Amino acid sequence: MDDHQPEIERLQQELARARDRLAALEATEARHAETLARLRESETRYRQLVENVNSVILRMDRRGNITFVNRFACSFFGYPEDELLGKNVVGTIVPEVDGAGQNLVEEIRDICEHPERHQNHENENMHRDGGRVWVAWTNKGLFDQNGELAEILCIGNDLTGRKHYEEALQASEQNYREIFNATMNAIFIHEIPTGRVVDVNQTMLDMFGLSRDEAMRGTVEDISEGHSPYSQREADELLRKAAFEGPQKFEWRSRRSNGELFWTEVTLKQAVIGGIPRVLALAIDITQRKHFQERLIEEQQLLHQLLEAQERERRLIAFEIHDGLAQQLTAASMYCGNFERLCRDDLDQAIQSHEAGSIMLQKALAETRRLIRGLRPPVLDESGLVAAIEHLLIDMKESGPTEIEFLHEVQFDRLDPAWENSLFRIVQESLTNALRYSESPKIQVRLRQEPGWLLLEVEDWGNGFDTNQVERSCFGLKGIRERAGLLGGTATIETTPGKGTRVRVELPLNKNTPAA
């Protein structure tokens, strides 16, 4: 028994080291929790953005039940938040039938099924006290990871004032000029059927930076982007439809007198003015709203993708620990227990148990090192970016016959850990994609430092791909662009089917660049 005591102590030491490795993995889990906290902070900023805008913002599911509503919406409709969440929009903020007798239940049902048909629409809404208001809605479908419609994002602006104005215009032409110039909407009055502008209000002149003479002499082409679908030809067709078919509502790319392009929302409708049928055009500047909508949707989608990616990584780590490391440590512990018992009864079997336990511990240590390398290679912390890329290439060369070459010309020794990790992950993702899909006989990684810049390129001469078809569904390529953007640089993917792919990342290096 005394002869085997040193070996028992060695096994116990190895088991202790394995437990230390497991503790390191648990520390990694804590870092993931910190990442989740940062994501939650991003969500808080997103919610602050939503809560501070003076527009109604809500989300509803495919049955029309409200799943989110911002503070402005609660104030606008007169409800506390808890009386809106989970309630159907019909019966709370949307009447079943509007003042004109239109069935809004069917309209809401169609919006929930086909939001693309109702990207911009107006309808009558109601306050908690039963008062009616008009709202201009912009609707956008939100899809889950399977591409299925999950919710509808609705952004609304109060049109009640404009509706009252239109009603007053129809009811009393004698007050027309006063209202005409007081409204916040840019107004054009067009002749039928020529489309010639016969009158404009002061808001229009201020919005486009024109004098009255310039506005009256000009055409729609003069204040538009000038290219299809925002040219005179499309404008004439829309005016014709408004005059003979019914009201038209659309977004238009407009141009100020100084050449600045901006977005407007235009409503065209026939109106009798001074006893003469005209086409009345009402335009509002929606540039800020467009930017907000884009930012809101992009932020939400990115947040959703980051959360999904993090959750996938957490599940993968858990599976690998459970199916690999935990099983190996359990087996090693069992063999060690058997060894102590068998030493008293059967020395040969004790030796076999000892050998099996050693093998299990060695496998556990190897598995632990593999997991740590997958999370953050130790060589990245110990020796820096260049050495880490070289080590990565050695590992990847073992996976197949593809020749992988690394060329580097840099003067720095180390960079900030966040920079090194981001650059390493870009190389890792690019190489993984190339090895998996390109079928190229050769891949080349180039890292070059130039005055004020760091250039990273990963190039293959394989299959290539169509970026329009792949990038929408490839989170890895989005991740490359996102990492480069966070470092203040850019990432471009240059590829053509059958002619290979080059990932090119350019990052600014200056005296403020973080360095270790």
pLDDT at residue number 121? 87
Q: Is the pTM of this model over 0.75?
A: no
pLDDT tens-place string over residues 91-121: 999 999 988 888 999 999 999 999 999 999 8
Q: What is the pLDDT of residues 407-432, one digit of tens each?
A: 999 988 888 887 888 888 888 888 88
Angle at 95 between CA 91 and CA 100, to 5 degrees: 165
CA atoms of 151 and 52, how far apart (whole Å): 22
Q: How far apart, in Å, are the Cα atoms of 39 and each of 231, 299, 308, 486? A: 44, 11, 11, 15
Q: Which two tokens stand for residue 426?
A: 């870009």
Query: For residue 140, what are the β-bridge partners?
Result: 153
Q: Based on the number of CB atoms within 10 Å of its own CB, is 6 exposed (0-12), middle (13-18) or buried (19 or more)?
A: exposed
Please compute Rg for the chain using Cα positions: 33
CB atoms under 10 Å from CB of 189, counted, come to 19
The pLDDT tens digits for 143-174 are 988 889 999 999 999 988 888 777 766 666 55
Query: What torsion, rounded to 10 degrees, do the Cα atoms 26, 28, 30, 33 define?
Result: -130
Half-sphere exposure of 433 (CA within 13 A, CB side): 28
Q: How confident is the model at residue 434 (pLDDT cuts 50, 70, 90)?
A: confident
Nearest CA among 282, 272, 98 for reference residue 207: 282
